[in-house]
Amino acid sequence: MSTPIVSIDQLSYAWPEADQPTLHSLDWRIDEGAFALLIGRSGSGKSTLLRSLNGLVPHFSGGSFGGQVVVNGVNTRHHAPRDFARHVGFVFQDPEAQLLTSRVVDDIALGMEQLGIPPTIMRKRVEEMLDLVGAAHLRDRSPETLSGGERQRVAIAAALAIHPPILVLDEPTSQLDPWGAEEVIAALQRMNDDLGLTVVMSEHRLERVLSHADTVRLLDDDGVPTDGSPQQIASIVAPVALPPVAQLARDLGLNPVPLTVKQARNHPEFMALREQLAEQSSLARRGRSHGVSTRVDGDTLGDSVLKVSQLGIRIEKSQIIADISFDVHQGELVALMGRNGSGKTTLLRALMGFVSPWSGDITFPGGERRIGYVPQRSSTLFFCETLGDELRFTAKKHGVQIDVEARLAEVDLAWAIDRHPSTLSVGERQRGAIATVLAGNPDLLLLDEPTRGMDPWHKRQLAAVLRNLQQRGLGIIMATHDTELAAELAQTVIMLGDGGIVSLGPPDDVLVDSLTYSTQINKVFGADWLTVDQIVQAVP
């Protein structure tokens, strides 16, 4: 049996001024060289548990701490977080928090400098890490100029550069495009396999990582753990939390549950189902009612609320976007997709007036529109003492009367009405930011990675909120890497790349047969099947 590199005994922790402990009498053993995955709903204590592995909990956070955590032979109770720099590499949910210099290469080198690693070794490791995470082209860029996904890659490279025996990652793929997520997970798997790196990771998007894990720990809403293999956990966790192919298998009562596209394609029941679905015409599938996941009918869209014509944007003499044109209508959700750095955030900022176009026009037919904008870094929206005050301020600013508690209840945050936004998790802040912006009753809503850090349960809730807004006539542009959400909600998908629009059209045209951007369901069943709900509705 392998020697545990992490030993947690009777760990209990309550944040300062919290009414209840976040963690209660937890035990956990992680073997050296394991790939351990931590899953559960927002607020179940995943980030708190991960932060206990390098002493940030309790030395930095304060609060009430009980039990003990021993990492690589070092007890966190008796050592400060700085003493764990050689033992634990840590990647936070917010990569911005750990990028401190003006150049990417300097950020990657910073931790090594602090540990006194010789310059010749540092230079070699910097180049190795840049190549490993696919960020060599970013080496001389300022982190301030990077997209969220690019920052995430750099933060992972910086954590790996010190060659820690343990790497802890909190939602490491939340801002990565699908291709980038696969690259990073493959790199972590390679280091786990070849170098014996112990990986401890929390993640909501299980389709990316579940099959890579040796062991999975599921925390329930009260922080109570269940441990098992990926297959064991897939058989007991709520289907909504699973990769789409596993969710479909559970919904149809199939066993065993496939965890990957390859397993699903070779699953006997799925093979038979694929033949059955192939007999249904593409015409019958288009526009099918899919219960709660029905897209708003494109034929019911209203007038144009935004018109972009031959838009070009330059930043520091670099052409970011060139000659793009599209319209957004009342009730339409436009999914803006593309690789990290393709210009999605820049385009949204231009629509808000934060970036001046180099060429082309942005017009609002029918007169001036009230625009709501939720940026990738949603924490930049908050400046009041409580979340409730944020909504009240926004509503008052726009002359709107709202029921603050009811608005927060729509995003499952009524309990946080008197909480300071900074005390919320990343996913909770995302939901709070959306509720805050909607308090101003905008005509056009711009969302930049709205599901970042959001668990599957709350993502489903957000989908219902957005669908309701569409039905009320709100136009929405959503920059996202979440192909499943885009397939479920969008009437139009705009794929950006190489400075322009690569593809524009309905999801049935843009997302199908794409190696990178098609959904798991489409990869298994082909044609224009995209979502779990489409399949479930089609099966007699």
Distance between CA atoms of residues 243 and 237, nearest Å: 11
Distance (Å, whole) CA 514 – CA 362: 30
Quote the tokens at residue 175: 């801002």
Three-state DSSP class for 538? helix
pLDDT per position as a tens digit, 359-407? 999 999 988 889 999 998 888 999 999 999 999 999 999 999 999 999 9
**Beta carbons within 8 Å of 167's beta carbon, 6+ residues apart:** 88, 89, 90, 91, 159, 160, 188, 191, 197, 198, 199, 200
Amino acid identity, position 212: H
**Strands in 339-440 per DSSP E:** 359-363, 371-374
CA 12 – CA 377 distance, rounded (Å)? 31
Average pLDDT of the segment spanning 309-321:
85
CB 250 within 8 A of CB 257: yes
Looking at residue 335, the DSSP 8-state letter turns out to be: E
Does this model's pTM top 0.75? My answer is yes
Q: What percent of the chain has pLDDT over 90?
A: 78
pLDDT, tens digit, for every residue of 289-307?
433 345 666 667 889 999 9
Average pLDDT, the chain: 91
- Give CA–CA dist 302/24, Å, rounded: 52
pLDDT of residue 326 exceeding 80: yes
Q: Judge whether residue 175 has pLDDT over 80.
A: yes
When the candidates are 3.40.50.460, 3.40.630.10, 3.40.50.300, 3.40.50.10090, the CATH number that belongs to 4-236 is 3.40.50.300
> Phi, psi (5° rounding) for residue 396?
-65, -40
Structural contact between residues 32 and 87, judged by C-beta atoms closer than 8 angstroms = no
> CATH says 292-516 is which class?
alpha beta
Domain definitions of the chain by residue range: 4-236, 292-516
Whether 282 has a pLDDT exceeding 80, the answer reads no
List the beta bridge partners of residue 416. Answer: none
| Secondary structure class of 216 (helix, strand, coil) | strand
Res 507: pLDDT: 95
Q: CA of 319: how far to CAs of 314, 315, 346, 357, in Å?
A: 4, 7, 11, 11
Single out the residue of 480, 474, 421, 426 nearest to residue 448, CA to CA. Answer: 480
Strand partners, 328: 306
User: What would the pLDDT profile of 329-359 be if each residue is shown by its tens digit?
Assistant: 999 999 999 999 899 999 999 999 999 898 9
